[in-house]
Structure 1
Amino acid sequence: MHQNPEEQPGNPMSAQHGDSHRPGRSSGGLADPKAEFRRNAVTDDYKITAQVLGLGINGKVLECYCKKTGEKCALKILYDTPKARREVELHWRVSGGPHIVRILSLYENMHQGKKCLLVIMECMEGGELFSRIQARGDQAFTEREASEIMRDIGSAIEYLHLMDIAHRDVKPENLLYTTRESNAALKLTDFGFAKETTLLNSLQTPCYTPYYVAPEVLGPEKYDRSCDMWSLGVIMYILLCGFPPFYSNTGQAISPGMKQRIRLGQYEFPNPEWADVSEEAKQLIIQLLKTDPSERMTIGQFINHPWISQSMAVPPTPLHTSRVLTEDKELWDDVKEEMTSALATMRVDYDQVKIKDLDTSNNPLLNKRRKRPMPVAADSKDEADGVECDACDNEVAFADDRGKMIIRQK
């Protein structure tokens, strides 16, 4: 239901209050794959601020307000490139799916003399997944809660895979809560690396954040939607203990030793963090972290696994997660910074990385608590080829499709 260019755009706020009002959406149905862009200036309908809400793969996200309703929203600004078009089209296609951040409106505007795609999304004010757990303090985080979170993330991945889309960068920073309330919904965002998964489109580009990258991405083998399943395994592992199963030396986005451990599937369930975690949860992780994609659990199997489908039967065992995240806050923030940097800059030819043996017990997140000496990290020499949109550096200026300047604000 793509709008013809000669048609007058409708009320830009018609998409604000539910998916049933959105172009290309039907209640309970699949999304129209064709995104519909408005060509009037976004500032006709939204007040844009210079407040940066986050950094995506292909652009920055600004805070904005709907002029008609006063609703706070998020504006993502992308230079109009084939890659940006793909991101927007795929996100639009699945927007409104379960636990997926909704797109409210799309615009084509000129910015700094260049054509841009402007994506208005719901504002996720509840923060990142692990920041929320970390902020709990003395309030215990339980295995049952971890099950419920994984069920929600799994439902988003299930929807994507049913739509023949692989997200390809499922990671904690891309999992956000709608509000700060206890009943807030957790949603998946940032489709900068998403691709369609068809037989004619085997996904081979090594462009992932390494902490959540599947082993087949690190080598010449082809990979498919099963790489999202690997990411689910890593996230589930962290939820249950507070540190990742695979790790790099501090200062490197990815190290030869980390690459080898991922490809060999070398990880442990060390005590005391894993002492009280159920065997069922551990076995589920093992099925998700299989190094052979053909042996890895599918999303259908994951959703139907008792630990996921029967979360109320999962024991409410208190976990070490919130304590570990708090104790290792400084180190964990370093890891997140490395991953965030890798999102826009890392395009590594993994085949050129020489594999070296490394003591598999040198996990810095474990060493810090075990009081063991940490290895000295080499400088990262990853080269950047990403292009970052500078649309929110102190000023915001937009033009409509005729090139007329609409607003300039600091």
Structure 2
Amino acid sequence: MLRNGKIKEEPETEPSSRGERAETEQPETERDSGTHFPMPNPSPAPLHPKLEIKRNAVTDDYKVSTQVLGLGINGKVLECFNKKTSEKCALKILYDSPKARREVELHWRVSSGPHIVRILSLYENMHHGKKCLLIVMECMEGGELFSRIQARGDQAFTEREGSEIMRDIGTAIEYLHNMDIAHRDIKPENLLYNSKDSNCVLKLTDFGFAKETTLHNPLQTPCYTPYYVAPEVLSLEKYDKSCDMWSLGVIMYILLCGFPPFYSNTGQAISPGMKRRIRMGQYEFPNPEWAEVSEEAKQLINQLLKTDPNERMTISQFMNHPWINQSMVVPPTPLHTTRVLTEDRELWDEVK
């Protein structure tokens, strides 16, 4: 991808919104085989209710459509309708495994949190002779974050709007991090609007990479999407939930200009040069796209894209930053974001 957002890549290993996401470089090594459902928790009882797994057929309660809404890391998502209320929902189908049960457990644990897609119910059914977990979720009919911005046409996207969006994303991450959960796949494709209305709500979804993390239980498996991966994950080091903050910085950068801070020019999903720039934190704020963006926004991005996780801004610091918690005083400066994203619409679809 060139600085102005022009990309020529046809990644073969890069994760996509259609489920072609890569846990690249090394296989899963974390000890998932001991995972139970619900997962044992030696700490005090959680505040959320225990998840009820229904054994009756999901088709008893829902009319399942063949319409595919998307593919997550671990399974596809179909459109379905509640037979009693006619409510449109999303049905995610996961083949039963310790990893799938971990995804369900962690998503359920945070499901009632702000700006997080809600789980409505869970079923355990047989499908093609295999045991499956069927997750019924609220249907996010407003589409992906960047697609929404692309659809604005001539209506300018402003820095103030960027601040409001980043505050919403930060609110979801704050809820996860306060529960010692790292999402590990924070990216625009996992940020969906619940409706097409002007007062729609942006929510975080897809917990296929999510994992509990504490000081004594750091993360090790290099799960990532290339554009948004933190340097410590690339370097195969032990890492923690601060990897989400790096991803937050990349999203904020793209949101304010329309192209990513790190990219590959070689046609690969992630090239040696791109890895080097990520590890060294080499990026710029080039004109004309960044000419009118406030210094406060640029400084905030710099704090999020610190290569040393210990120096990187925490979610608490992020949420307390004036650019985030005082959105109304952020200048409503028109940005180049809509133009750049629209010009590169097909190319963005390729690199999801």
Query: TM-score scaled by structure 2?
Result: 0.86
Amino acid at match of 2:335: L
Change (3 A) 1:255 1:314: same
Matched with 1:119 is 135
The unaligned stretches of length 5 or more in structure 2 are: 1-44
Tell me, yes or no, if structure 1 residue 151 matches structure 2 residue 140. Answer: no
Amino acid at match of 2:301: I
Residue-pair matches, total: 308
Tell me, yes or no, if structure 1 residue 58 matches structure 2 residue 91. Answer: no
Distance 1:31 1:126 in 2: 30
Distance 1:220 1:61 in 2: 31
Distance 2:49 2:277 in 1: 39
Distance 1:143 1:30 in 2: 38
Q: Secondary structure at the match of 1:302?
A: helix
How far 1:330 sits from its partner (Å)? 2.5
Tell me, yes or no, if structure 1 residue 35 matches structure 2 residue 51. Answer: yes
Matched with 1:94 is 110
* 1:260-307 superposed Cα distances (whole Å, 9 cap, x missing partner): 010000000000000000000000000000000000000000000000
Amino acid at match of 1:148: E
Is the CA contact 1:33–1:92 (under 8 Å) kept in the aligned structure 2?
Answer: no
Tell me, yes or no, if structure 1 residue 107 matches structure 2 residue 116. Answer: no
Matched with 1:193 is 209
Matched with 2:234 is 218
Distance 2:232 2:250 in 1: 15
From 227, 242, 255, the equivalent of 2:271 is 255
Matched with 1:47 is 63
Distance 1:64 1:334 in 2: 28
Deviates more, 1:195-204 or 1:41-50: 195-204
Matched with 1:304 is 320
Percent identity for Structure 1 against Structure 2: 85
Matched with 2:330 is 314
From 96, 114, 129, the equivalent of 2:145 is 129
Distance 1:68 1:106 in 2: 17
Higher relative contact order, structure no. (Cα contacts within 8 Å, ≥ 6 residues apart): 2
Q: What are the equivalent positions in structure 2 for 1:237-256 lying under 5 Å apart?
A: 237-249=253-265, 251-256=267-272
* 1:175-225 superposed Cα distances (whole Å, 9 cap, x missing partner): 000001111000000000000012332111112111100000011321101
How far 1:251 sits from its partner (Å)? 3.4
Is the CA contact 1:31–1:94 (under 8 Å) kept in the aligned structure 2?
Answer: no
The unaligned stretches of length 5 or more in structure 1 are: 1-28, 337-410
Distance 1:41 1:265 in 2: 50
Tell me, yes or no, if structure 1 residue 271 matches structure 2 residue 287. Answer: yes
Query: TM-score scaled by structure 1?
Result: 0.74
Distance 1:81 1:60 in 2: 15
How far 1:335 sits from its partner (Å)? 1.8
Matched with 1:176 is 192
How far 1:249 sits from its partner (Å)? 3.0
Distance 2:266 2:148 in 1: 24
How far 1:333 sits from its partner (Å)? 2.0
How far 1:34 sits from its partner (Å)? 4.2
Is the CA contact 1:97–1:156 (under 8 Å) kept in the aligned structure 2?
Answer: yes
Distance 1:238 1:93 in 2: 30
Matched with 1:10 is none
Matched with 2:37 is none
Distance 1:110 1:307 in 2: 49
How far 1:31 sits from its partner (Å)? 4.4
Q: CA RMSD in A?
A: 1.2
* 1:133-165 superposed Cα distances (whole Å, 9 cap, x missing partner): 011010010000000000000000000001110
Matched with 1:406 is none
Q: Secondary structure at the match of 2:163?
A: helix
Q: Secondary structure at the match of 1:53?
A: strand
Is the CA contact 1:33–1:90 (under 8 Å) kept in the aligned structure 2?
Answer: no
